[in-house]
Structure 1
Amino acid sequence: MTTDLHPRPRTRPARTGLVSRALLLRFVSIVGASIGFYLPLSVVPLYAKQAGSDSAAGLATVALLLATVACELVTPRLIARLGYRWALALGLVLLGTPTLVLTMSDDIWVIILVSVVRGAGFAITVVAGGAVTALLIPKDRRGEGLALVGVVSGVPTLLALPAGVWVAAHWGYTPVFVMTTVATLLALLPLPALPRRADTAQAGDHHGVVAGLRDPALTRPATIFAATTAAVGVLVTFLPLATSGQPAWVAASALLAQPAAATLARLFVGRLGDRHGPARLLVPGLVLSAAGMAALAATGTPSAVIGGALVFGVGFGALQNATLTLMYARVPSGGESAVSAIWNAAYDLGMAAGALGAGLVIASIGYPLTFALTAAAILPALGLAHRDRRP
C-alpha cells in the first residue's frame, strides 16, 4: 500500500453561472418597468396641481399607492391563471398606456382613474416580475443575483425620477406621458423568452398569499423590512421640509445618497448573504438603519443629514436583499409569486404608514424629534431579527 506524500489540494466546486440569456432579457423589462413607473411619478402630481389644487395632487399619489398595494396581494392568483408571461405583459400595458389619456384630458377624476390603473399595472409588474426573476437566478447565488437586479432597476430609477420633472419643465407634460408609454411597451419585447409558469405542484395552496401571511417564517422578514420602509416614507416625505432652512443641495444630496448607498450595499451583502446566510445580515441592517435615521435628527447640520442618509441607505439596502432572499429560500418552487406579493406589499404599506404617522405628529413635536422617534421605532424589530437567525 502506498501513501501519497503530496496530496492534491481540494478544489472548490464550480460556482453556478449567474447571468443567463433569459436573465439578460429580463433586465430589459426591468428597465422599461422602472422608467414607466418613475418617469411620471413626480410629474403626475404637478399635472394634477395645475389642473386642480394641492389636494388633487395628493389624491393622485394616494390612489396610485392604494391601488398598488391592493393588487399586489391578489396578483399571485392572476399569475396562477395566466402564467408569468401574460401577467407581466398585462402589468406593463396597464402601467404605461393609461398615461396617453393624460395627453387628452387634465380632469382630476381622469387623473385619479389613470393613477389607479397604473397602480394596478405596477403591482402586477413587480409581483410577476419579481417571481420570474427569482426563477432565473441560481438558488446558491440568489442573494448576489437579487443584488444585481437591484442595480439594474435602481439606476433607471435614479435617472428617471428627476428626468421626468426636467422634461416636463422644459418641453411640457405630453413628452413625459408619451415616453412613459413607449418605454413600457418596449419592455414587452423580451417576454417570449421568459418562463411561462413555475412548477406549482410543490407549492400547492399552502404557499399562496393568505397562507404566507399566516407563516411566521415569511411574516417575520416582511415585518422587519416594513419597519425600515416606514422610515423611508418619513425620509423622502419630510426631509426636504426639515432642511428648508439649509441650502437646496443639502436635501438633494441626502435624497441621492440614500438610494445610491442602498444600491451599492445590495451588491456587497448579496454575496455575503450567499456565503454566510442572509439571516445574519438582519441585525446589522436594522442597527445601521436606526443609526442613520437618528443622525437625521440633526437637521441643522448638513454633514449629519447627508451622512445619516448614507448610513441609513446602507442598512436599508442590506435589509432589502437579506429579507427577500430569506423569504424566497423558505418556499418551494411555485411559491415565488406569494413571496414577491408579500414583500412588495410590506414595502409600499410601510412607506405609506411612515409618511402618514409622521404627518400626524410632526406639527406638534417638530422634525428633529420625529426623525429620532422614527429611529427608535426601528429598534423593536431587532427582537424579530434575533428570532430569525436560522438560514
Structure 2
Amino acid sequence: MASSVGPEDRAAGARPRLVTRPLLLRFVTVIGSSASFFLLLSVVPAYAQNGPGGSSDKAGLATGVLMSATVVGELTAPWLAARCGYRLMLGAGLLLLGAPALALTMSQSMAWIAAVCCVRGLGFAFTLVAGGALTASLIPPERRGEGLALIGVMAGVPSLVGLPLGSWLAAHTGYGPVCWAAALIALVSIAAVPGLPGREAVSGPSLGIFAGARSGTLGRPTVVFAVTAVGAGIVVTFLPLAVAPGHSGAVTAALFAQPAAATASRWFAGRHSDRSGAAGLVVPGLVLSASGILVVALTGVPVAVVAGAAVFGVGFGITQSATITLMYSRVPASGYGTVSALWNVAYDAGMGFGAVGFGAVAGFTGYPWAFVLTALLMLTALVPARWDQTAAREQRVTNSEDQAVTAEGQR
C-alpha cells in the first residue's frame, strides 16, 4: 500500500499518517464485530436459562461453548488465512457472527443454542485473528503502538455499551429484537471489507501458531499476557458474588471502572511505546494488575473494591498494549496472523481458566484469600517478563556488534 506521506514530509521528519481510508474501514469492522458479540454475550445465557428445563448449568454451557469455539477458531485461523487471505477470512467471520443470531430464537433447545454459539464463536475468532493481522498491516511501524491502542479503544467502547444494552433490550423488547440488532450490525459491516487489502497482506513464508508459541520472542509475552488475563476473567465473573449484596453500587462502579481504566491506559501505553519502546511497560503493567487484584481482596470495603478494580484495569490495559506491540514488532508481515491468534488465545484462555480455577479455589478458601492467591499467581509471570527483557537486551547488543563488524568491513 502506498504511503500517504510524501518525500518532502519524510525529509522534514514528519510522522507518517495514521488514520487512512483503509484504517477507517477497519474501524467499521471492529465496531461491527465487537458490538454484535457483546450485545448477545449476557443475553444468550439468560435465553438458555429461561427455556424449558433451564438452569444455571445451561447458562454456563452457552458461554462455555461460545468461548471454546472462539479458541478453536483462533488456533485454526492463521492456517486458513494463509490460504484464503485476511480479507476473505474477516468477511467470513462477520457472516458467521451475524447470520446465526437471526436463527437463535427459532428454538430454546440447548442443542440449538449450543450450535448457534459454536458458529458465532468461530466467526468471532476469524474477525479477531484476520482483523488483527490486517490492522497491523495498515499501521505505519513508527506509530504501531498508538494505532493498536486506537483499535483497542474502538473495540472497547462497544463492549462497555453492548453488555448492559443487550440485557436492557432483552428485558424491555424481548430476545428477538436484540438478536436481530446483533445480526444486522455484523452483517452490515461486511460492506467495509472489500475496501481492505486482500491476499497481499499474507505474502511471504507463514509462521505456524505452535512454532510461534514455542519461540521465546513470542512465547514469553504470550505467557505474561495470559496470566494477566486470568485476573480479568475473575473480576468480571466473581466480583458480583464476592461483594456483599448491600454493596451492589460498588460492584457496578467497579465493573465500569475496570474496562474504562483499561481503555484509557491502553491508549497511553500505545503512545508511550512509539516514543520509548514497549518492552519497559510489561513489568509495570503486570505489577499494577496484581496489585489491583490484591486490593480487591478487601471485599468488605467498597472503596477498596472500586479502587482495586481501577488499578487492575490500568495495569491490564498497559499489559495489553505492551505485549501485542512487542509481538508484532518481532515478526515480518507474514507472521501477523500468528501474533493475532496467539494474543487472542492468551486473552480468552486466560479469562476462561482463571474463572474456572478461581471458583474451585474460592470454594475452599473463601473469596478474599482466593483474590490474594490470584495476585501471587500473577506475580509469577515476572519470571518470563524478566527473561524477555534480558533476551531482548542481549539481542540488541548482538545486533550492535554485527553492525559494527559490517561497518568495519566496508572501510
| Cα shift readout 1:277-297 (whole Å, capped 9, x = no counterpart) | 101001100110011000000
Question: 1:149 maps to what in 2?
Answer: 151
For 1:181-200, list aligned pairs within 5 A. 181-200=183-202
Asked if 2 retains the 8 angstrom alpha-carbon contact of 1:361 and 1:370, the reply is yes
| Cα shift readout 1:143-186 (whole Å, capped 9, x = no counterpart) | 00011111111111100110000000001000010001100011
Question: 1:137 maps to what in 2?
Answer: 139
| Cα shift readout 1:5-59 (whole Å, capped 9, x = no counterpart) | xxxxxx9721111111110111011100011100010000000000122111111
| Counterpart check, 1:382 vs 2:382 | yes
Question: 1:79 maps to what in 2?
Answer: 81
Secondary structure of 1:116's counterpart equals helix
CA distance in 1 between counterparts of 2:72 and 2:35 reads 22
Secondary structure of 1:18's counterpart equals coil
**Partner AA of 1:179 in structure 2:** A
Question: 2:399 maps to what in 1?
Answer: none
Question: 1:101 maps to what in 2?
Answer: 103
Secondary structure of 2:246's counterpart equals coil
Asked if 1 retains the 8 angstrom alpha-carbon contact of 2:282 and 2:319, the reply is yes
Secondary structure of 2:85's counterpart equals helix
**Partner AA of 1:98 in structure 2:** P
Question: 2:214 maps to what in 1?
Answer: 214
Question: 1:117 maps to what in 2?
Answer: 119
CA distance in 2 between counterparts of 1:106 and 1:113 reads 11
| Counterpart check, 1:296 vs 2:332 | no
Following superposition, the deviation at residue 244 of structure 1 comes to 3.0
CA distance in 2 between counterparts of 1:102 and 1:384 reads 43
Asked if 2 retains the 8 angstrom alpha-carbon contact of 1:18 and 1:138, the reply is yes
Asked if 2 retains the 8 angstrom alpha-carbon contact of 1:64 and 1:115, the reply is yes
**Partner AA of 1:270 in structure 2:** G
Question: 2:17 maps to what in 1?
Answer: 17
Question: 1:7 maps to what in 2?
Answer: none
Asked if 1 retains the 8 angstrom alpha-carbon contact of 2:86 and 2:202, the reply is no
Following superposition, the deviation at residue 234 of structure 1 comes to 1.1
Following superposition, the deviation at residue 208 of structure 1 comes to 1.9
**Partner AA of 2:146 in structure 1:** E
Following superposition, the deviation at residue 199 of structure 1 comes to 5.0
CA distance in 1 between counterparts of 2:185 and 2:174 reads 18
1:321/1:94 CA distance change after superposition, 3 Å: same
Question: 1:363 maps to what in 2?
Answer: 363
Secondary structure of 1:73's counterpart equals helix
Asked if 2 retains the 8 angstrom alpha-carbon contact of 1:98 and 1:114, the reply is yes
**Partner AA of 1:168 in structure 2:** A
CA distance in 1 between counterparts of 2:90 and 2:202 reads 18
| Counterpart check, 1:89 vs 2:104 | no
**Partner AA of 1:302 in structure 2:** P
Question: 2:317 maps to what in 1?
Answer: 317
User: Where in structure 1 are there 5+ consecutive unaligned residues?
Assistant: 1-10
**Partner AA of 2:42 in structure 1:** S
Question: 2:398 maps to what in 1?
Answer: none
CA distance in 1 between counterparts of 2:337 and 2:26 reads 16
With the length of structure 1 as denominator, give the TM-score of the two structures.
0.95
With the length of structure 2 as denominator, give the TM-score of the two structures.
0.90
Instruction: Give the count of matched residue pairs.
Output: 379
| Cα shift readout 1:219-270 (whole Å, capped 9, x = no counterpart) | 1000000011011111111110011333221111101100000000011111
Question: 2:65 maps to what in 1?
Answer: 63
Asked if 1 retains the 8 angstrom alpha-carbon contact of 2:45 and 2:62, the reply is yes
CA distance in 1 between counterparts of 2:383 and 2:57 reads 39
Q: CA RMSD in A?
A: 1.2
Out of 164-173 and 50-59, give the one that drifted further: 50-59
Question: 1:259 maps to what in 2?
Answer: 259
| Counterpart check, 1:169 vs 2:206 | no
Asked if 2 retains the 8 angstrom alpha-carbon contact of 1:198 and 1:333, the reply is no
Asked if 1 retains the 8 angstrom alpha-carbon contact of 2:134 and 2:201, the reply is no
Asked if 2 retains the 8 angstrom alpha-carbon contact of 1:288 and 1:311, the reply is yes
Asked if 2 retains the 8 angstrom alpha-carbon contact of 1:198 and 1:334, the reply is no
Question: 2:238 maps to what in 1?
Answer: 238
**Partner AA of 1:384 in structure 2:** P
Query: Which 4+ residue blocks in structure 1 deviate beyond 3 angstroms?
Result: 198-202
Asked if 1 retains the 8 angstrom alpha-carbon contact of 2:95 and 2:123, the reply is yes
